[in-house]
C-alpha cells in the first residue's frame, strides 16, 4: 500500500540521512527537487481533495496553483484558486515555492543565463532549504497521505450480459483491477447482485470502497 505519513517526510528532510547525504555529496539538484516534491505533498495534505500521488493532480492542480501564487507575489498574476488562499500559511508556502523555483531554474539552466547565480550563492541557498521548510512543519494535521484511487466499471467485466455462473471470473477481474490498499470506486451499469458480490470480494483489499452513479454521486460502501 502506498501510504506515507507526513511526519515521515518531515524526518527525511530534517533528521534523516537521505537529505543530509544529498547535501554532503553536493547533489544540489536532487536536494532541491526533493524539497519541491515535499512542498507539493504538504499542500496535498492540507487540501486533501484527491490522490496525493496522482501526477495530474500534483502537476495540473497543486503545482499550477503554487506557480500562480508565486507570480502574484511579484504582481505578475492574480488568478490564484480560492482553495489555495484558504490553506493555512498560504502566503508562506507561495513565497517558499517561488524561492525554490528560482533555485531550481538556476540549477536546471547550468548558468546559461545573463542573471545566473554564482556557485557560492546556489550552495548557500541549498543549505538554507531545511531552515525555510521548518515554518511549515508546525501545526500540520496529524494524518496520513494515501495513494491509489481505482475506478472499476462493472459493465466492463461482463460485456453485454452478466451471467451468474461466470461470477467467479468477474470477481477475479475486479480483484486484479483493484490491487491492494487502494481507494476503489465501483461504477457502471450492472445488476445489484454483481455490485454486492464485488464489494464483498474487495473487503479487506480496498482501503476505501465507494459506489457512484450520475444520480447518487459517490456513496461509501459500509
For 36-80, write each residue's pLDDT tens digit. 988 998 888 778 666 777 888 889 999 999 999 999 988 877 789
pLDDT at 134 over 70: yes
Task: Give the per-residue pLDDT at 15.
Answer: 47
pLDDT at 17 over 80: no
User: Ranked by mean pLDDT, which of 46-55, 173-182, 189-198 comes out on top?
Assistant: 189-198
In this structure, what C-alpha cell is assigned to residue 186? 465501483
CA distance 66 to 97: 7
Question: What value does the mean pLDDT take over residues 24-30?
Answer: 87
Task: Give the per-residue pLDDT at 215.
Answer: 78
pTM, two decimal places: 0.62
pLDDT at 150 over 70: yes
Q: 215 versus 199: which is more confidently predicted? A: 199
Whether the CB-CB separation of 80 and 62 falls below 8 Å is answered with no
The pLDDT confidence band at residue 193, using thresholds 50, 70 and 90, is very high
User: Ranked by mean pLDDT, which of 11-20, 74-83, 155-164, 207-216 comes out on top?
Assistant: 155-164
CA distance 222 to 215: 19
pLDDT at 100 over 80: yes
Task: Give the per-residue pLDDT at 31.
Answer: 87
The pLDDT confidence band at residue 216, using thresholds 50, 70 and 90, is confident
Half-sphere exposure of 88 (CA within 13 A, CB side): 12
Whether the CB-CB separation of 137 and 45 falls below 8 Å is answered with no
pLDDT at 145 over 70: no
The pLDDT confidence band at residue 163, using thresholds 50, 70 and 90, is very high
Q: At what angle do helices 90-108 and 119-133 cross, to 10 degrees?
A: 150
Q: Lowest mean pLDDT of 23-27, 57-61, 99-103, 151-155, name the range.
A: 23-27
Whether the CB-CB separation of 175 and 202 falls below 8 Å is answered with yes
Task: Give the per-residue pLDDT at 16.
Answer: 44
Whether the CB-CB separation of 150 and 182 falls below 8 Å is answered with yes
Amino acid at each position: 500500500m502506498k501510504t506515507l505519513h507526513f511526519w515521515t517526510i518531515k524526518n527525511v528532510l530534517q533528521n534523516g540521512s537521505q537529505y543530509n547525504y544529498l547535501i554532503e555529496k553536493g547533489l544540489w539538484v536532487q536536494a532541491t527537487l526533493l524539497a519541491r516534491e515535499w512542498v507539493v505533498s504538504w499542500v496535498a495534505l492540507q487540501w486533501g481533495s484527491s490522490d496525493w500521488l496522482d501526477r495530474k493532480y500534483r502537476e495540473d492542480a497543486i503545482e499550477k496553483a503554487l506557480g500562480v501564487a508565486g507570480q502574484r507575489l511579484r504582481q505578475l498574476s492574480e488568478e490564484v484558486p480560492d482553495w489555495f488562499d484558504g490553506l493555512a500559511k498560504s502566503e508562506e508556502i507561495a513565497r517558499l515555492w517561488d524561492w525554490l523555483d528560482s533555485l531550481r531554474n538556476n540549477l536546471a539552466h547550468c548558468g546559461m543565463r545573463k542573471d545566473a547565480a554564482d556557485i557560492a550563492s546556489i550552495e548557500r541557498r541549498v543549505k538554507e532549504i531545511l531552515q525555510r521548510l521548518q515554518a511549515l512543519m508546525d501545526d500540520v494535521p496529524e494524518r496520513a497521505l494515501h495513494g491509489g484511487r481505482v475506478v472499476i466499471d462493472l459493465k466492463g467485466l461482463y460485456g453485454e450480459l452478466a451471467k451468474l455462473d461466470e461470477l467467479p471470473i468477474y470477481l477475479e477481474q475486479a480483484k486484479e483491477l483493484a490491487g491492494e490498499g487502494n481507494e476503489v470506486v465501483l461504477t457502471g451499469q450492472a445488476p445489484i447482485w454483481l455490485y454486492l458480490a464485488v464489494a464483498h470480494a474487495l473487503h479487506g483489499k480496498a482501503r476505501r470502497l465507494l459506489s457512484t452513479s450520475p444520480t447518487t454521486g459517490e456513496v461509501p460502501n459500509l
